[in-house]
Structure formats: structure tokens, C-alpha cells
């Protein structure tokens, strides 16, 4: 069912693009009116297995990346991603213990959080109110040339220098912890010294009582040479 809805969405987008190219404004309006209700249907569908969880999260991560120039759209889709984390992981301030929903007949699966985070095509981290990592996906770990497990429980200053933390990361995380959705750009080198233009977006991460327990950080890194070219 989920795959069918995602394919329907992709078909609608292809039709929308074709209508735009033809200058058919009537068709554009009709197709555009179908897209967001379909997105809401995809979001509202509860995954029946691990593969559907992966597909669902990948779908909203793709939308966030495709709409990276539109702050409102990125905020909307990253908020949906946060809600999916909450739905399938049963979030708490420490996100532990993880609980799988009843629909996953196999019950608790300790690798479920890796499945969710590693299905996202961007660098992702979840940081608690104490500025310590709750989660780090493989892409973010690879950027630092460290295993993802080495981030868990560590403070941000274990991976970035104190000045960058105090002047750039901490003020924006504090805004996010206060309920704001934050986006900004900066330049940074990976562990190998290669420079990247980084787009960072932070979304409040809510616990089961809807209080803010941290921030979901989505990082899109573009090699500097590619930008110049």
C-alpha cells in the first residue's frame, strides 16, 4: 500500500512537470491540489514492517532535500520525519528503551533506530538538551571518519572545537530547544580536510508528552569544488 502511494506521488510529480512545460495552467492547478493530500496520506499510513518504515522515512527525507530552497517546506517535512521517529521509536528524553509498535510482529528490534537514521540520504544527528548525541547516522559518522556508535552520549565539543560550539552550534540549538526551527549555512572540513558547503536545519524533537527533549539535525554537505564548478 505504501509503495503504491509513493509511486502515485511520483507519477503526479511527473505529470505536474509535464504540464508546467506545456504551460497548461489548468492541469497544473488540478494536479497541485492532489499532491499535498497524498503526502498526508503517506504520512498517516502506519508501516507494517521494516521495509515500509525505510520507504516512509526516505520519502520525507527526499522531499526535504528536493525543497531545500524553501524553508517552510523543509520545516514541514523534517517535522514529519521527527513525528515518524516518535511514532516508531516511542521517543523519550534518552530514547531508551526503544519500543517497536505492535504492528511489527517481531517485537523489539535493537537495530530499528539504525534502520531509520541510515535510510535518510543526508547526514543526520539527534542531540539532547545537554548537547550530547542521542543518535548519529552512518553518513554523519563517515564525514568524521568515526563509527556511529562512538558519537552516542558524547558532547558536541568532542567533535567540533569549543569556539565553533559556543559561537555557532550552541546558540542555534538553544533556539531550537526553545521551539524554533533553525536553518543556516557554513563551511566545514571533513576528517580528510576536504572543504564542504554545509546546509544545516534543526527541528525540535518532542517527547511523548510533547515537551521538547532535543533537536533533529539534518545536514546537507556539498563539496566546495562542485559549487565552484
The three grid cell numbers given for residue 187, joined into one nine-digit string: 563551511
pLDDT band for 114, please (50, 70, 90 cuts).
low
Q: Which band of pLDDT confidence, cut at 50, 70 and 90, is reported for residue 107?
A: very low
Residue 14 lies in a domain: no
pTM above 0.85, yes or no: no
For every residue of 155-212, DSSP letters joined together read BGGGTS-HHHIIIIIHHHHHHHHTT--EEEEEEEE-TTS-EEEEEEEEEEEE-TTS-E
Would you say 85 and 213 are in contact if contact means Cβ atoms under 8 Å apart?
Answer: no
pLDDT surpassing 70 at residue 150: yes
12 in a structural domain: no
- Distance in angstroms (rounded) separating the CA atoms of residues 152 and 129: 14
The residue among 106 and 22 whose pLDDT is bigger is: 22
Average pLDDT over residues 124-130: 89
CATH number of the structural domain spanning residue 199: 3.30.450.20
Whether 16 is in a domain gets the answer no
Residue 17 in domain: no
The secondary structure of the chain in percent helix, strand, coil, rounded to multiples of 5, reads: 50, 20, 30
Q: Is the pLDDT of residue 174 over 90?
A: yes
**Residue 99 counted as domain residue:** yes
Does residue 163 belong to any structural domain of this protein? yes
Q: Once rounded to an integer, what is the mean pLDDT over residues 119-141?
A: 83
- Other Cβ atoms less than 10 A from the Cβ of 138: the count is 15
Number of domains in the chain: 1
221 lies in some domain: yes
pLDDT score of 129 more than 80? yes
pLDDT at 100 over 60: no
Residue 185 inside a domain? The answer is yes
Containing structural domain, residue 64: 46-228
What is the percent of the chain with per-residue pLDDT over 90, rounded to a whole number? Answer: 30
The answer to which of 4-8, 11-15, 84-88 has the lowest mean pLDDT is 84-88
- The average confidence (pLDDT) of the chain is 79
Amino acid at each position: 500500500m505504501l509503495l503504491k502511494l509513493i509511486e502515485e506521488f511520483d507519477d503526479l510529480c511527473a505529470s505536474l512537470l509535464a504540464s508546467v512545460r506545456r504551460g497548461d495552467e489548468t492541469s497544473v492547478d488540478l494536479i497541485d491540489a492532489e499532491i499535498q493530500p497524498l503526502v498526508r496520506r503517506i504520512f498517516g499510513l502506519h508501516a507494517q514492517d521494516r521495509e515500509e518504515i525505510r520507504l516512509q522515512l526516505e520519502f520525507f527525507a527526499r522531499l526535504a532535500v528536493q525543497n531545500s530552497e524553501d524553508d517552510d517546506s523543509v520545516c514541514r517535512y523534517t517535522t514529519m520525519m521527527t513525528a515518524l521517529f516518535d511514532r516508531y521509536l516511542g521517543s523519550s528524553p534518552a530514547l531508551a528503551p526503544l519500543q517497536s509498535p505492535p504492528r511489527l510482529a517481531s517485537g523489539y528490534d535493537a537495530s530499528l533506530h539504525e534502520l531509520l537514521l541510515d535510510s535518510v540520504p543526508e547526514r543526520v544527528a539527534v542531540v539532547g538538551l545537554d548537547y550530547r548525541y542521542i543518535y548519529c547516522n552512518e553518513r554523519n559518522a563517515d564525514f568524521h571518519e568515526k563509527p556511529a556508535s562512538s558519537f552516542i552520549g558524547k558532547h558536541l565539543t568532542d567533535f567540533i572545537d569549543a569556539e565553533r560550539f559556543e559561537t555557532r552550534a550552541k546558540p542555534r540549538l538553544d533556539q531550537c530547544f526553545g521551539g524554533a526551527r533553525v536553518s543556516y549555512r557554513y563551511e566545514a572540513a571533513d576528517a580528510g580536510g576536504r572543504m564542504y558547503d554545509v546546509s544545516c536545519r534543526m527541528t525540535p524533537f518532542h517527547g511523548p508528552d510533547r515537551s521538547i527533549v532535543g533537536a533533529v539535525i539534518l545536514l546537507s554537505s556539498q563539496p566546495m569544488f562542485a559549487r565552484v564548478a
